[in-house]
């Protein structure tokens, strides 16, 4: 068919398809409509009439569809995100605790929406991830003079005075019986905080890096190495020779000056050098460990209270500080059976500082029990003057509270998980909260002391080196000594004449003395004597006819 109708040219092909089909795109709203563009096979969605485009070539894959704006019901050009959260036509009433301390978590704000803080940012980010809008109004809960009772706030949601509670609300068993919580967006748990002070200067602090055994063993090794090096050097090094008193001094001076690598005596024997180099390595390690340990001991802080964790806090009778409005009061009384008379409510951070500094004797508290997120802020604000002791003794989290069976609790849980997975939760955390730079735990002073356990490997290596060096040294001496016949040690060595009935004992004493004299001799002299002896032997042997040599092997 091919004819001109009221709408213009109409033509079908053999397969009964319209040739060059084109349509108007209409935006129908209420009783009227607007033309917002056209669609044709060749041009796709476009604001230009298809007839004007016929014959022109298009790259349809790269062209973005373009139409005039759609006006949605409600005279808005913002594309709706789906159905609106049905709340009988009124916005959600969201209760926000009006905090007076730790306002970074949530607090009143002069500009809309009237509240600000870490929890609000997280809630807003989660709401924006929902596939539908949630009209909401924030309503402050509390008198602005002290933190509200959070459990009462949750109760108000259960009583339908609010639709939700958004803030640093801890998920506790009691509260989950009244309302539905979302997944936790912040980890939390109760910790014990106590004051610390710098360790007092101690004139004997320099002894603290090592335990007593470590000092004794180190001292003994200094002497041992001194003696071993002296033995190994004595025969060949004139610096290790001289009158006995002088040599004793050399041993002491040499061994202790290795502590600072400042020994002036030269070591010339290979064995002596071997022992010394291993010992200097040991000294290097001991020196650097001593320096490191002393530094940490002098800068470490020490606890001033005897509280070491929640157990010692429970067993003491000292007052305990808790945050005003927090669930921790009830938790300490009901779960840990702490007398109510021991609990002191602290309203602001200044109260925290004063109570801890005053201590139990001056009307303060021995420790504060509060949740970790607050304490991290507290510690970084007070420049690490306070520390936590023991472990976090409860594990919980903060969540948003909704009325029972609210679909929002489920959807927001998904949104919170999404925020956590894409890293936004951490970004919001970094924006509002500083992580405390204080190390959370304190080391015991004794734990810093270096004991023999950390070093016995080094001492063992050094001891083995000394032993091997001495063994090699004495083997060589004995070999040399055997080349002399004991009764004919010549030259400077006294000739020993054994009385015929002197017996075995005196024989042994005499040969030991002989050996000692031999050891005491300079090696060069011994070698000289050996040479002389062997040439004498050769002379004696040459006139004899059997040609046998009498020199010792």
- Report the candidate in 120, 123, 119 with the shortest Cα–Cα distance to residue 111: 120
DSSP symbols for 236-280: T-GGG-SSHHHHHHHHHHHHHHGGGT---SPP-SHHHHHHHHHHH
Smallest gap from Cβ 150 to ligand SER, in A, equals 3
> With CB under 6 A as the contact rule, which of the stretches 138-146, 198-206, 303-311, 320-328 interacts with ligand SER?
320-328
Instruction: Give the nearer residue to ligand SER in terms of CB position, either 119 or 442.
Output: 119
> With CB under 6 A as the contact rule, which of the stretches 46-54, 164-172, 216-224, 254-262 interacts with ligand SER?
164-172
Selected binder of ligand SER within 85, 118, 141, 150 (CB under 6 A) = 150
Give the count of beta carbons closer than 10 Å to the beta carbon of residue 60: 11
**169 touches ligand SER (CB under 6 A):** yes
Helices (DSSP H) in 422-493: which residue ranges? 424-432, 445-448, 456-482
DSSP symbols for 7-72: TEEEEB-TTSPBSS-EEEEEEEETTEEEEEEEEETTTEEESS-HHHHTT----TTTPPP--PPPPB
Instruction: Give the nearer residue to ligand SER in terms of CB position, either 13 or 152.
Output: 152
- Report the candidate in 282, 291, 306 with the shortest Cα–Cα distance to residue 222: 282
State how far the Cα of 42 lies from the Cα of 59, in Å rounded to an integer: 9
Selected binder of ligand SER within 46, 107, 156, 170 (CB under 6 A) = 170
- Asked whether the beta carbons of 62 and 48 are under 8 A apart, the reply is no
Smallest gap from Cβ 370 to ligand SER, in A, equals 8
Instruction: Give the nearer residue to ligand SER in terms of CB position, either 184 or 319.
Output: 184
**399 touches ligand SER (CB under 6 A):** no
**267 touches ligand SER (CB under 6 A):** no
**In the chain, count of helices (H) and strands (E)?**
17, 20
State how far the Cα of 182 lies from the Cα of 416, in Å rounded to an integer: 8
State how far the Cα of 76 lies from the Cα of 37, in Å rounded to an integer: 19
> With CB under 6 A as the contact rule, which of the stretches 168-176, 303-311, 349-357, 433-441 interacts with ligand SER?
168-176
> With CB under 6 A as the contact rule, which of the stretches 116-124, 165-173, 282-290, 528-536 interacts with ligand SER?
165-173
Instruction: Give the nearer residue to ligand SER in terms of CB position, either 43 or 323.
Output: 323
Instruction: Give the nearer residue to ligand SER in terms of CB position, either 138 or 327.
Output: 327
Selected binder of ligand SER within 37, 272, 321, 325 (CB under 6 A) = 325
**352 touches ligand SER (CB under 6 A):** no
**484 touches ligand SER (CB under 6 A):** no
- Asked whether the beta carbons of 107 and 115 are under 8 A apart, the reply is yes
**327 touches ligand SER (CB under 6 A):** yes
- Report the candidate in 271, 457, 272, 469 with the shortest Cα–Cα distance to residue 263: 272
Terminal Cα distance for the chain, rounded: 132
Say how many residues touch ligand SER, by CB under 6 A: 9
Smallest gap from Cβ 327 to ligand SER, in A, equals 4
Instruction: Give the total residue count for the chain.
Output: 553
DSSP one-letter code for 335: I
> With CB under 6 A as the contact rule, which of the stretches 68-76, 166-174, 229-237, 381-389 interacts with ligand SER?
166-174
> With CB under 6 A as the contact rule, which of the stretches 249-257, 262-270, 319-327, 455-463 interacts with ligand SER?
319-327
User: In the complex, which residues of this chain contact ligand SER (CB under 6 A)?
Assistant: 150, 168-170, 323, 325-327, 371
């Amino acid at each position: 068919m091919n004819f001109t109708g009221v709408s213009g040219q109409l033509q079908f092909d053999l397969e009964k398809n319209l040739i060059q089909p084109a349509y108007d795109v209409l935006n129908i709203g209420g009783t009227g409509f607007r033309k917002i563009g056209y669609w044709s096979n060749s041009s796709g969605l476009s604001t230009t009439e298809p007839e004007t485009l016929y014959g022109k070539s298009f790259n349809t894959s790269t062209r973005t569809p373009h139409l005039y704006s759609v006006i949605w019901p409600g005279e808005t050009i913002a594309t709706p995100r789906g159905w609106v959260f049905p709340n009988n036509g009124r916005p959600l009433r969201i209760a926000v605790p009006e905090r007076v301390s730790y306002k970074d978590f949530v607090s009143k704000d002069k500009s809309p929406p009237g509240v600000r803080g870490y929890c609000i940012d997280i809630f807003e980010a989660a709401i924006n991830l929902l596939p539908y809008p949630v009209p909401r109004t924030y309503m402050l809960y509390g008198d602005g003079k002290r933190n509200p009772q959070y459990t009462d706030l949750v109760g108000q949601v259960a009583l339908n005075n609010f639709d939700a509670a958004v803030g640093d609300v801890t998920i506790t068993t009691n509260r989950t019986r009244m309302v539905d919580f979302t997944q936790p967006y912040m980890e939390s748990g109760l910790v014990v905080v106590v004051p610390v002070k710098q360790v007092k200067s101690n004139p004997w602090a320099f002894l603290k890096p090592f335990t007593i055994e470590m000092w004794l063993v180190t001292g003994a090794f200094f002497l041992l190495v001194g003696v071993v090096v002296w033995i190994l050097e004595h025969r060949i090094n004139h610096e290790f020779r001289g009158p006995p008193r002088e040599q004793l001094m050399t041993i002491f001076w040499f061994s202790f000056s290795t502590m600072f690598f400042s020994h002036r005596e030269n070591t010339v024997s290979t064995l002596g050098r071997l022992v010394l180099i291993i010992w200097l390595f040991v000294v290097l390690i001991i020196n650097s460990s001593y320096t490191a340990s002393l530094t940490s001991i002098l800068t470490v802080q020490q606890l001033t209270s005897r509280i070491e964790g929640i157990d010692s806090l429970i067993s003491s009778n000292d007052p305990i500080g808790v945050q005003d409005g927090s669930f921790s009061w009830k938790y300490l009384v009901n779960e840990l059976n702490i007398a109510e008379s021991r609990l002191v409510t602290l309203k602001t951070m200044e109260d925290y500082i004063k109570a801890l500094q005053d201590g139990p004797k001056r009307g303060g508290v021995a420790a504060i029990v509060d949740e970790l997120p607050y304490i991290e802020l507290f510690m970084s604000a007070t420049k690490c003057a306070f520390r936590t002791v023991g472990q976090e003794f409860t594990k919980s989290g903060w969540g948003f509270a909704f009325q029972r069976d609210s679909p929002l609790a489920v959807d927001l849980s998904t949104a919170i998980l999404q925020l956590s997975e894409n890293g936004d939760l951490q970004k919001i955390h970094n924006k509002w909260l500083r992580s405390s730079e204080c190390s959370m735990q304190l080391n015991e002073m004794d734990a810093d002391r270096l004991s023999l356990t950390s070093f016995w490997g080094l001492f063992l290596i050094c001891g083995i080196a000394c032993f091997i060096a001495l063994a090699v040294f004495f083997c060589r001496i004995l070999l040399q000594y055997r080349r002399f016949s004991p009764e004919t040690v010549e030259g400077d060595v006294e000739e020993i004449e054994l009385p015929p009935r002197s017996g075995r004992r005196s024989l042994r004493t005499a040969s030991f003395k002989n050996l000692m004299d031999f050891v005491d001799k300079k090696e060069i002299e011994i070698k000289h004597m050996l040479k002389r002896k062997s040439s004498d032997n050769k002379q004696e042997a040459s006139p004899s006819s059997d040609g046998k040599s009498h020199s010792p092997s």
